[in-house]
Structure formats: structure tokens, C-alpha cells
Structure 1
Amino acid sequence: MPLDEFDRKIVQSLQIDARMPVAQVAERTALSATPVSRRIKRLEDDGVIVGYQPILDARKLGFELDAYVLINLDAHSDDNISRFEQAIQDNSYVIACHAVTGDMDYLVHVIARDVEHLSQITLKSLLRIPGVRDVKSIIVLETIKEMRAMPLD
């Protein structure tokens, strides 16, 4: 769905602070509060805005380690894929999982307390999912850029 100039300004404001009062969003968009409220409701109804959630600091919650785990399955049967995807859904330390192209089948984003905890997650959980053949871990040393806001150009 194409966004007009006002929709883009509204979404940009909400990406900065989703709790921003409608009056403040209206001020930033040069519209009054009523049309801004209607536009926000339409953006939500149309699925452009899919929800609101706090952004948590993983380190303050004790998760010092950020890692990516590359996973290959031994077969690509429907049962194998379903079992794998359900196990990933059930693992609270997996914060994202993507089916990917290339040498590996999945790219799994994992948070852990430390290297020992990552080892436990990898060896006792991910590697033991039926149908998993290969697992390779990449530990993040430093995050150069991390954005959750979408470009609206």
C-alpha cells in the first residue's frame, strides 16, 4: 500500500516513539488530531502498523551474547521442516529464524547469557532437533548498526 506524505510522517513519528500522543504526532505532520487518529486507525486496519511493543535491552536482562546459528537439515521433507520449525517456535532463546538461500537452510538469531549458555542452547537444544544435520555458530563481537525503523522513501 503506497503511503502519502502525511502517512509517512505519521509512521516516522510512531517509529521514533510508538507511545507518542496523537496531539504530538499531529503537530509533527501539520494535521489536526482527528485526521491523524483516523489515519493511524486505517494504517492499523490495513496492516501497515502491525502492533506496538517495548524495545528491551537484552544486556540489562542478562543476555550478554548475541549469536547467529546457521542450520542445515538432513532432508527437506514436510515432517522434518514442521518438526524443526515447531522446535524453533518453542525455544525462547531464538529471537528470529529465517529460511535462507545458499549453503545453509536456516539462519537463527539466538540470545544467550554467555558462551557456556550458547553452547547449551546449541548442543542440547538446536542440534538435537530431529532432522538437523549441520550447525555453525557466529558470535557477534560488536553491533555496528541495528535499526528497527523501516525506511519510508
Structure 2
Amino acid sequence: MELDKLDRRILHELQRDGAITNTELAERVGLSATPCARRVKRMQDEGLIMGQTIVLSAAALGLKLSALVQVSMDRHTPDRFERFESEILKHPEVIECLLITGQSADYQLKVVVPDMDYYQEFLLNTLTRIEGVADVHSSFIMRKVLDTTALPLMHLT
């Protein structure tokens, strides 16, 4: 899909504020409302814009502990991976699950929980009991230096 300067500006503004009205968006990018809405609709139809979300404050909700968890599987077979992935989807504490390479682990999870007691319960009674999990290493996030969902747009033409 070809993107021009106005498309990139629209995407930039939508990443900054997904709840912006079409009228305000059009004003910020220098278009009238109808052409702006058409461009947004085209980018949605093309799959470039996948949806809108609201970002919640984990701390304000009492979710004060975040962990990056590396999980190694006992066997590298499709059925093991499918089983693990279907099980991990059942746990809302896991907000990200990545199949990775270049590490000794097979998966990296981002887990958000209220406290260490909750994490210990999740680790011992849930994660390590998933069939095929051979090893788990946890790292705890002390401070977020950068936390964004915005994608870089400078390379788009």
C-alpha cells in the first residue's frame, strides 16, 4: 500500500490518541473531515489500522509487579508448542507471549500481577505445570524507561 505524507501524519496522530475525533484528526493533519475519514477507512480496509485500544495504568489497578519470563520447552515439536500456546492464552496475567530465537529459551512472556506472592502462585501452580515446560527464568522490571505501542513511521513512503 502506498502511503503519502498525509497518510503518515494521520497514522502518527492516531498512534498518539486513538480516541481523537475525525474532525480533530482532520484539523491536525490539514484536511477536511470527509477526505480524512476516507483515508482512515482505506487504511483500515487494507489492514494497516487494526483497531483501537485504551491503555490502562497497571499501577493504578494494583498490578505492581511486571516480569519478563523466559520459558524453555522439553521438546521442539509442533504439538508441544501448540499445547503451550493454547494453555498460555487462558491466563490474563500474561499480556505478551513471543516465540523467540537466539536465546536458550523458546518463549518470552510478559506477566503483570499484583505482587510477588501472586507471581509465585502463578509460576508454581500454573506456568510450570503446563505440559512440556522444562525451564523458566524470571526477570522483574524495576523501571520502564520507554513504554510505547507506537510504531516508527519514518521509513514509510
Alignment correspondent of 1:29:
29
The alpha carbon displacement at 1:67 in A equals 0.4
State the Cα RMSD in Å. Answer: 0.9
Q: Once the two structures are aligned, what percentage of the paired residues are identical?
A: 39
The structural deviation recorded for 1:3 is: 2.0
List alignment gaps of at least 5 residues for structure 2: none
1:89 and 1:115 map into 2 onto residues whose CA distance is: 21
> Which residues in structure 2 correspond to 1:44-123 (within 5 Å)?
44-101=44-101, 102-123=103-124
2:120 partner amino acid = S
Q: CA deviation at 1:2?
A: 3.8
Q: Distance in 2 between matches of 1:89 and 1:124?
A: 16
How many residues are treated as equivalent by the alignment?
A: 153
1:54-88 alpha-carbon deviations (Å, 9 max, x no partner): 11111111100010110000001222111100111
Q: What 5-or-longer segments of structure 1 have no aligned partner?
A: none
Output the CA distance in 2 between the equivalents of 1:95 and 1:65: 13
> What TM-score do the two structures reach when normalised by structure 1?
0.97
Structure 1 distance, partners of 2:78, 2:152, is: 35
**Alpha-carbon distance in structure 2 between the residues aligned to 1:24 and 1:118:** 43
